[in-house]
Structure 1
Amino acid sequence: MLQTLLLISLLLPLLFIFFKPKSKSNTNSPPKSYPLIGHYLSVYTNRHRLIHWTSDAVRNSPTSTFLLRRPFGQTRVITSNPAVVQYILKTKFSSYQKGDIFRTTLFDLLGDGIFNVDGDAWKFQRQLSSHEFNTKSLKHFVEKVVDAELNERLIPMLTNATVNNTVLDLQDILQRFTFDNVCKIAFGYDPENLTPSLPQAKFACAFEDAVRICSERFRTITPLVWKLKSLLNMGSEKRLKQAVLEIREFANKIASEKRQERDNKSSIQSVDLLSRFLSSGHSDEKFVTDMVISFILAGRDSTSAALTWFFWLVFKNPEVESEIVKEVNEKSDSPVFDEVKEMVYTHAALCESMRLYPPVPVDTKAASEDDVLPDGTVVKKGMMISYHPYAMGRLEKLWGKDWMEFRPERWLEKDETTDNLRLKTIDPYMYPVFQAGPRICLGKDMAFLQMKRVVAGVLRQFKVVPVVDEGSEPVFVAALTSKMKGGFLVKFKERK
């Protein structure tokens, strides 16, 4: 195996020298595929902008579906066709699951957690988790967890930055904010990651490294590369093992403390996710930690990514910002939970932001049998099928000629009975930002409530001003979730 990999590593650079694509700017011509290596040369040329390259490929396809030829005969279907998305996420749901490649790639981090299993294991965990997203739990999350983090940490930090004219990395701040929140709701534990000193907590750093390295595994030319590195305990794979060990040691420590708390009948019982799992009789150590790690991944990275791009777009569109601030001020006398529920325009603005910059830009399933997709694409058993929310948000045929504009109004309509604005019903398979079908995100409502509470708290008091060169745009980079390359440097101004 080692000799084969060494041969590949020597041959591919030579092939790149002789057959290097002439230009990556001509997005209208189809990528060139070669025998044996497929689209490798184009992929290599665009390795720093793969999300944009694959988006161009599917948008320029007549069927909005592109066949990515990988080396050694592997083929992956990438689509932005809503009919195909509905087919794999709903119509033939049982035939398009996570699959062995996805599961193996993320197993070290997620284990048998809900995002990494199929069939009965997935059904069981989803049913168990669904109890955490009822109205009572959501209200507690917003009024106790999010509001405390907002008023006791985030707002004082931004106030101090305003007074001292300090530049902050808002992407980092929001990741810390959501990390504290999700640890409180998942573990009943406060990592205090959003404090004035901005500490680099061991658990948070380990989690960041593990997510990054697992994402990099998907981009290797063949899984044999990262598997060999793991076997030899080399480089990033060595760090991944260390990071996962730190994550699980921390999770197991918290779980042990929760068991003691549960056994001590005189103590006040917690209402966090971990305590509920243990109280329900599911005390297997690995099962519990797998579940909670998946919960943290969903609650930390996706929400902070959505908010980061939202604040950028709001800055770029002052008329939208004015409408949001107006709505926020009108709701300021309402109880916290009612306030965020009733922020219809802000909700629309968040939807519009995630249309252009989805937190999970691409998601992948695997075919469990030979099939033919609604657009005529032939699928073989074991083939990977990726649907592309980032590309779908940029399709003129779905969103019209003004798809490039940040326009929350496209999500709104008038309620004929009250004459008030309300959210339109949008086809979830045309906007699968939270997935759709049986596997639609359980935490969707929780995410919107948290985001709207943050938006209200920040924009009511501050104007967010990015520190960027005039005319420059931040770079969208994609891993398991999206990020803004290099962070999001901003200053805050007190709103008059």
Structure 2
Amino acid sequence: AYPTLRITMWILPISMALPINWPILHMFPSFVANLHNMPAYFTLVLTGSSHDFRAHGPPGTGMRFFVTCNPANIQHIFTTNYPNFPKGAEFAAIFDIMGGSLFTIDGEPAHRMRAKVKGVLNGPRLLDNLASYCVDKVKNSLLPLFAHMVSIETPLDMQEMMLRFMFDLCATSLFGVDPGLLSSDLPPMDVAVALDTVMEVGFFRHVMPTSCWKLMRRLNIGPERKLSTSHTVLRRFVVEMMDRWKTNTCHTET
């Protein structure tokens, strides 16, 4: 029922191919050179290394990685034998923005929280809500937006549209409120950018000596300054979603 769309797919440039294991510095230069484009770079590296590879950096850095996208390895680490892979205090410090969450805790607290999260994720109510949200989002937001883009003859970045779609879907499931990133005016994706920054700076902290990134945090410079700004954006978003949910709840009750 909708006209043909002109879709623009952007392919990000990769500055280097597979990481080079240099003397002393090891793979550190390759990763630093691609720090701005890590998801695409890791995709290339994993494709060229049979889905698993080890990455090492120079002495004094925390760069000692086993990178994998093998489903069997992921199941072993995160499900079957997760108690054998504790995150530790260093990991919790690196991702301090997520302190106290399942992402950073270990031991019995992690076991109890995993059980609660598993119960919620496997519950039929959540699955039914997700299905309902998805159908409603496609019908009332995504397809009308496509039709609008066609009517004004504007090229469509499908990667961005899918990112907006998934962000709205996830946020609606978590907060019960639709952020509306798929509205016709295409509002800025500040929160999605902030989440990317958190992961980017988390990787930066992993490869740099602890004393280095902590000094940068104290001075509020470099990536640490970007992270501080992202913290503010994420806190503001969570508060806004909670306020909107309370408002909607009050209106429903009245």
> Structure 2 length as normaliser, TM-score?
0.71
Instruction: Give the Cα separation in 1 of the matches to 2:127 and 2:72.
Output: 33
Instruction: Specify the alignment match of 1:246 in structure 2.
Output: 233
- Secondary structure in 2 matching 1:78: strand
Amino acid at match of 1:166: T
Indicate how the Cα distance of structure 1 residues 194 and 261 shifts in structure 2: closer, same or farther if over 3 A, else same: closer
Instruction: Specify the alignment match of 1:283 in structure 2.
Output: none
Deviation at 1:113, TM superposition (A): 2.0
Structure 2 runs not aligned, ≥5 long: 1-15
1:98 maps to 2:87: yes
Deviations 1:284-325 (A, max 9, x none): xxxxxxxxxxxxxxxxxxxxxxxxxxxxxxxxxxxxxxxxxx
Instruction: Specify the alignment match of 1:135 in structure 2.
Output: 124
Deviation at 1:151, TM superposition (A): 0.9
Indicate how the Cα distance of structure 1 residues 38 and 86 shifts in structure 2: closer, same or farther if over 3 A, else same: same
Alignment of 1:183-332 (within 5 A): 183-200=171-188, 204-219=189-204, 220-252=207-239, 254-255=241-242, 267=253
1:55 maps to 2:46: yes
Deviation at 1:74, TM superposition (A): 5.3
Instruction: Specify the alignment match of 1:40 in structure 2.
Output: 28
Amino acid at match of 1:157: L
Contact residue 39 and residue 68 of structure 1 kept, 8 A:
yes
Instruction: Give the Cα separation in 1 of the matches to 2:92 and 2:224.
Output: 17
Amino acid at match of 1:126: R
- Secondary structure in 1 matching 2:95: helix
Contact residue 198 and residue 230 of structure 2 kept, 8 A:
no
Indicate how the Cα distance of structure 1 residues 96 and 258 shifts in structure 2: closer, same or farther if over 3 A, else same: same
Indicate how the Cα distance of structure 1 residues 193 and 71 shifts in structure 2: closer, same or farther if over 3 A, else same: same
Large movers: runs of 4+ above 6 Å: 81-84, 259-262
Deviation at 1:158, TM superposition (A): 1.0
Q: 2:102 aligns with which of 114, 124, 127?
A: 114
Instruction: Give the Cα separation in 2 of the matches to 1:146 and 1:33.
Output: 50
Instruction: Give the Cα separation in 1 of the matches to 2:130 and 2:72.
Output: 36
Amino acid at match of 1:94: P
Indicate how the Cα distance of structure 1 residues 40 and 173 shifts in structure 2: closer, same or farther if over 3 A, else same: closer
User: How many percent identity over aligned positions?
Assistant: 20
Indicate how the Cα distance of structure 1 residues 213 and 100 shifts in structure 2: closer, same or farther if over 3 A, else same: same
Instruction: Specify the alignment match of 1:159 in structure 2.
Output: 147
Deviations 1:345-365 (A, max 9, x none): xxxxxxxxxxxxxxxxxxxxx
Amino acid at match of 2:131: V
Once superposed, what is the RMSD of the aligned Cα atoms?
A: 3.7
Amino acid at match of 2:175: F
Amino acid at match of 1:31: N
Contact residue 114 and residue 126 of structure 1 kept, 8 A:
yes
Contact residue 102 and residue 113 of structure 2 kept, 8 A:
yes
Deviation at 1:76, TM superposition (A): 1.8
1:170 maps to 2:163: no
Instruction: Specify the alignment match of 2:56 in structure 1.
Output: 68
Instruction: Give the Cα separation in 2 of the matches to 1:46 and 1:258.
Output: 40
Contact residue 141 and residue 185 of structure 1 kept, 8 A:
yes
Indicate how the Cα distance of structure 1 residues 221 and 259 shifts in structure 2: closer, same or farther if over 3 A, else same: same
Alignment of 1:320-399 (within 5 A): none
Instruction: Give the Cα separation in 2 of the matches to 1:196 and 1:253.
Output: 21
Instruction: Give the Cα separation in 1 of the matches to 2:174 and 2:200.
Output: 23
Deviation at 1:259, TM superposition (A): 6.8
Amino acid at match of 1:209: A
The structure having more radius of gyration, on CA atoms, is: 1
Instruction: Give the Cα separation in 1 of the matches to 2:217 and 2:211.
Output: 10
Contact residue 207 and residue 243 of structure 1 kept, 8 A:
no
